[in-house]
């Protein structure tokens, strides 16, 4: 009995720790946005809502554990069985919602940062909406599988579906979730590895946006634990792993959505040299880099984060007062410019540009334009 109690306490500690960690990352994300842009945006609100759902989930799961969740049915009183089942069933509402809604924050983030073509945006949102509908269907099944719903926690007599239906649907949702996680991780990785950066920068940037790989692996294991839902006779014990991994999955998605937005906070704490960026040499930015007629080199520092638009100045795709080999993304509905690849260009002198540098720079511009014309 003491071993079981210790195991239950450790699981409760894991979901509490993961939720606390997710909360810290969300707080860091919001603070980064405030200090860099002066306000927060849609994806920030989605992330805030998701972490609130995680906190509610932990509270309900804790209530279930306090009444015997994670223990065998034959060791519980009838009243504890009812309450443990009730809080477990109810907890799946914020639980499923937390890992579903947080993925939409990642979609909004990638939409703004990578600026995909129209066809890709349509596909991205279709895939996202289908996933949202599947998750909503899971919530409906959670209560519709028994008539009345109270029969699930033994508060009334009723009829229930074959539990295999619920498990099969949850498995289908899990498989789709895995594919969705990997898509949200692979897409930015492919884009970033097409840039002319050294492999360390590519790896760092891809890792910051590719945290979905971790969420996908966790979802795979959660699918493995779904078979525990078939054990109706000892449900309070077998459902424990599903409760645990649902929370871990949600917090991994939330953390992954926050990491790419933390650069302003990291720069504030560790200085401008954080993440390998360096201070800008002084010079005439109007004659820098690849702007019309200039032959000077354009050196860029790739950083993660965002910065506010200059008030009263309209900037084009590559900026009106700085050179850039990559297009930055304008958020037309906001007061700020919201990017992950913040290219800060600077000029040394026209005599320092070699023929090889000219060919490389022109090649990169041509590749960027060709990629955008393809729409992906």
User: Is the pLDDT score of 338 beyond 70?
Assistant: no
What's the pLDDT score for residue 140? 94
Q: Give residues with Cβ within 8 angstroms of 23, minimum separation 6.
A: 51, 54, 55
What band does 276 get if pLDDT is binned at 50, 70 and 90? low
User: Is the pLDDT score of 283 beyond 50?
Assistant: no
Provide the 3-class DSSP secondary structure of residue 184. helix
User: Is the pLDDT score of 173 beyond 90?
Assistant: yes
Burial 132-162 (b: 16+ CB within 10 A, else e): eebbeebeeebbebbeebbebbeeeeeeeee
Task: Please indicate whether residue 317 or residue 72 has the higher confidence score (pLDDT).
Answer: 72
What's the pLDDT score for residue 282? 40
Q: Give the model confidence (pLDDT) of 9-62 as tens digits.
A: 677 788 889 999 999 999 999 999 998 888 898 999 999 999 999 999 999 998
Task: Output the six-digit token pair for 306.
Answer: 């965002």
Q: Please check whether residue 138 is in contact with residue 174, taking contact to mean a CB–CB distance below 8 angstroms.
A: no
Q: Give residues with Cβ within 8 angstroms of 32, minimum separation 6.
A: 261, 262, 263, 264, 265, 305, 306
Task: Please indicate whether residue 274 or residue 328 has the higher confidence score (pLDDT).
Answer: 274
What's the pLDDT score for residue 271? 74
What's the pLDDT score for residue 369? 60
Task: Output the six-digit token pair for 364.
Answer: 């990169």
Q: Give the model confidence (pLDDT) of 190-240 as tens digits.
A: 887 777 666 766 676 677 666 778 888 998 998 888 876 776 677 788 788
What's the pLDDT score for residue 229? 72
Q: Give residues with Cβ within 8 angstroms of 301, minimum separation 6.
A: 277, 278, 280, 343, 344
Tokens 């699918």 found at = 223
What's the pLDDT score for residue 305? 39
Q: Give the model confidence (pLDDT) of 306-315 as tens digits.
A: 334 443 333 3
The whole-chain average pLDDT of the chain stands at 74
DSSP state of 104: H
What's the pLDDT score for residue 155? 83
Cα gap 50→23, rounded to integer Å: 10
Provide the 3-class DSSP secondary structure of residue 307. strand
Lowest mean pLDDT among 3-17, 137-151, 307-321: 307-321
What's the pLDDT score for residue 371? 60
User: Is the pLDDT score of 351 beyond 70?
Assistant: no
Q: Give the model confidence (pLDDT) of 95-119 as tens digits.
A: 999 999 999 999 998 888 888 888 9
What's the pLDDT score for residue 6? 58
User: Is the pLDDT score of 326 beyond 90?
Assistant: no
Task: Please indicate whether residue 353 or residue 176 has the higher confidence score (pLDDT).
Answer: 176
The beta-carbon contacts of 141-149 under 8 Å, at least 24 apart in sequence, are 141/165, 141/166, 141/169, 142/89, 142/92, 142/93, 142/96, 142/166, 143/89
User: Is the pLDDT score of 299 beyond 50?
Assistant: no
Task: Output the six-digit token pair for 258.
Answer: 């926050």
What's the pLDDT score for residue 333? 36
Q: Please check whether residue 147 is in contact with residue 158, taking contact to mean a CB–CB distance below 8 angstroms.
A: yes
Provide the 3-class DSSP secondary structure of residue 195. coil
What's the pLDDT score for residue 345? 36
């Amino acid at each position: 009995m003491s071993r079981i109690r210790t195991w239950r306490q450790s699981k409760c500690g894991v979901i509490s720790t993961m939720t606390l960690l997710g909360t810290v990352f969300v707080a860091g994300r919001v603070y980064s946005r405030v200090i860099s842009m002066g306000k927060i945006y849609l994806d920030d609100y989605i992330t805030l809502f998701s972490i609130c759902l995680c906190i509610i989930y932990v509270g309900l799961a804790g209530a279930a554990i306090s009444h015997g969740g994670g223990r065998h049915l034959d060791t519980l009183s009838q009243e504890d069985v009812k309450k443990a089942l009730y809080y477990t069933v109810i907890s799946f509402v914020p639980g499923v919602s937390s890992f579903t809604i947080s993925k939409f924050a990642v979609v909004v983030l990638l939409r703004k940062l990578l600026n995909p073509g129209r066809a890709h945006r349509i596909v991205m949102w279709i895939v996202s909406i289908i996933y949202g509908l599947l998750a909503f269907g899971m919530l409906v099944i959670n209560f519709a599988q028994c008539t009345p719903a109270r029969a699930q926690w033994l508060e009334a007599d009723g009829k229930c579906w074959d539990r295999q239906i619920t498990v099969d649907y949850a498995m289908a949702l899990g498989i789709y979730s895995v594919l969705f996680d990997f898509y949200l991780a692979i897409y930015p990785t492919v884009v970033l590895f097409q840039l002319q950066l050294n492999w360390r920068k590519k790896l760092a940037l891809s890792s910051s946006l590719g945290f979905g790989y971790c969420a996908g692996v966790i979802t795979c294991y959660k699918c493995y634990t779904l078979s525990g839902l078939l054990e109706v006779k000892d449900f309070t014990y077998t459902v424990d792993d599903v409760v645990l991994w649902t929370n871990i999955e949600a917090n991994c998605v939330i953390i992954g959505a926050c990491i790419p937005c933390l650069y302003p906070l990291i720069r504030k704490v560790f200085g401008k040299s954080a993440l390998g960026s360096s201070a800008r040499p002084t010079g005439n930015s109007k004659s820098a880099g690849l702007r019309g007629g200039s032959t000077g080199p354009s050196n860029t520092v790739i950083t993660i984060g965002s910065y506010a638009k200059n008030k009263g100045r309209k900037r084009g795709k590559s900026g009106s007062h700085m050179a850039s080999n990559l297009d930055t993304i304008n958020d037309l509905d906001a007061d700020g410019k919201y990017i992950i690849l913040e290219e800060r260009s600077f000029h040394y002198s026209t005599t320092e540009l070699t023929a090889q540098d000219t060919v490389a720079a022109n090649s990169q511009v041509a590749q960027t334009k060709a990629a955008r014309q393809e729409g992906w």
